[in-house]
Amino acid sequence: MNSIGSNKVAPRILIADDDPCVVRALADRCSRMGFGIETATSGLQALIKASRHQPDVLVIDVHLPELDGLSVLAYLSETEKKSSHVVVMTGRPGQEILKICDGLDAFCIHKGPSFWNELEARLSEICPDQAFAIGRSAKIEVKKRPRVLLVDDDISVKKMFFHQFEQLGADLLYAADGTRGYWKARREQPTAIVADYCMPNGDAEYLLSRLRNTKETATIPVIVQTGRRLDEAIKQRLRQPFVGQPGAVRILRKSPDGRELFAALQRLCGFARDLDGESLYQ
C-alpha cells in the first residue's frame, strides 16, 4: 500500500467498534496524533460513513451489530468505496479471518496486550508525516488503574465491592444518587459507570440521559444493575441509544458475589488482576 504523504489537511480515520471504551480510547490517542476522527458503533453506521466520506484510514472490528466488519469491507470493495488503508481488529484471530483480510487488502491486528504497539507501527507506515506525533503520543502517561464509578443509594453496596476492586487493581469511585453521579462522572471521567436502577434524585434513565447529552461523558459505558425485576419496556428504554450514543451496555440483577458484574467490567476496563488478586498477564 502507498503511504499518505504530506498534506495540509489532517488524514481522516474512521474507528468502528461496538465497545464504547475501545472507541473512546482509540479516538483519544489518534486525535493526539493529528488525525481527523470519525466513529461508528455498528456495521451499518460504519458502512454509511465510509461510503460517504471515504476516510484515509478505516479501523474496524470484525464483530459488529447489524453488519459484521468483514461484510462492510466486502461491500465497500465491490462498490469501489473502500478506504486506501484498512486495519481490522479482532479478539479471536484465526487463519480464516487472516485469509479474508488478505483478500480484501486489509491488515489484521489481534486485540491483545500488543495491540497498541502493532496499530502504532501500522499507522506510522501509512502516515509517515504523523510518526513524530505518534511517538510523542506514546510517551504521554495514561492512568494504568481503571476507575469505576458506582452510583447507588445503598452505601452497603460500596462497602461490599470496595475490597474486590482493590483485588482487581482498580479504583472505585462512589456517588449516592443520579444527580451526584452525573456531576462526579463529568469531574472524574471514569472508565465505566455502574448504576442502580432506582435511586433518589435521578434514576438510571435520568443518569443515562444526562451523561449522553454531555460531551465529556457521552461515550462512558454504563452498566445498570438492580435488585428488582424490570419489565421489557424499561429494559428497552435503558438499552436504546441516547442522542446517537449507546444506552446501557448491560442490565444485570444484583448478586452477593458480583461475579457477572465483574466479568462485564473486565471487558470494558481490562483489569490487571482477577477476583483472587492473580495477574491476568503473566
- Long-range (24+ apart) CB contacts under 8 A made by 235-238 are 237/205, 238/197, 238/204, 238/205, 238/208
The rounded distance, in Å, linking the Cα atoms of 73 and 14 is 13
- CA-nearest of 148, 174, 162, 152 to 226 is 152
Name the CATH architecture for the domain at 147-269.
3-Layer(aba) Sandwich (3.40)
CA distance 215 to 235: 24
Which letter does DSSP use for residue 34 in this model?
T
d(CA 226, CA 269): 21
User: Which CATH code for domain 12-138?
Assistant: 3.40.50.2300
**Domain boundaries along the sequence of the chain:** 12-138, 147-269
- pLDDT for 265 equals 86
C-alpha–C-alpha distance, residues 176 and 152, integer Å = 5
Give the confidence band of 209 by pLDDT, cuts at 50, 70, 90.
Answer: very high
Confirm whether 12-138 and 147-269 share one CATH topology.
yes
pLDDT-derived band at 87, boundaries 50, 70, 90: very high
* Contact predicate 271/169, CB 8 Å: yes
Tell if the pTM clears 0.85, that is, is over it: no
pLDDT digits (tens, 9 = 90+) for 160-201: 888 788 778 788 999 999 999 999 999 888 989 999 999 988
Give me the pLDDT at residue 273, please.
62
Which carries the bigger pLDDT value, residue 3 or residue 110? 110
- Phi (first) and psi of residue 9, to 5 degrees: -90, 135
**Per-residue pLDDT, 45:** 92
Q: What are phi and psi of 89, to 5 degrees?
A: -105, 140
Mean pLDDT of the chain, nearest integer: 82
Alpha helices (H) along 82-154: 95-103, 115-126, 131-138
Region 132-151: mean pLDDT is 62
Give the number of residues written for the chain: 282
Q: What is the pLDDT of residue 223?
A: 94
pLDDT in tens, 56-68: 999 999 989 889 9
